[in-house]
Amino acid sequence: MRIMHFVVWSLLFMAPVLAFGQQSGIEVALQKGNAADLGVHFSKSVDISLPDDEDTYTPDKAVTVLSDFFATQSVKGYKRLHVSGEEGGRSKYTIGDLYTANGTFRITLYFDAQQKITEVSITK
């Protein structure tokens, strides 16, 4: 019984740490403007909305589209502003500011139940 309590408590304390680790990897990729590292966290299809483009892509094509955007904008950094929890059937999402040589963009990432990115929305 003690072992079971230990396992349960360990899982309760480790879950936020694991989620933070994934979130941290996403944030590092955005800070560097590294679409390939961000692509590791993509779902089987990704909706991408950019100021001049909007479509659904395979993970590989989504990486290419975001790589082009990040290169054109010359990413300088990223700061996460908000993280939501899953609520009433709505997906988890994060909101942050993407700092570039051409100004600041608002970036919203939506996640599925497996914590994979399903949508990337970038607006000026």
Average pLDDT in the chain: 85
Q: Give the confidence band of 13 by pLDDT, cuts at 50, 70, 90.
A: very low
Which band of pLDDT confidence, cut at 50, 70 and 90, is reported for residue 23? low
Residues of the chain above pLDDT 90, percent: 69
Q: Give the chain's domains with CATH numbers.
A: 2-123 (3.10.450.50)
60 vs 27: CA distance, rounded Å: 19
Closest CA to 91 of 54, 59, 43: 43
pLDDT on residue 15:
42
pLDDT band at 1 (very low <50, low <70, confident <90, very high): low
Q: What is the pLDDT of residue 85?
A: 77
Paired strand residues for 26: none
pLDDT at 14 over 80: no
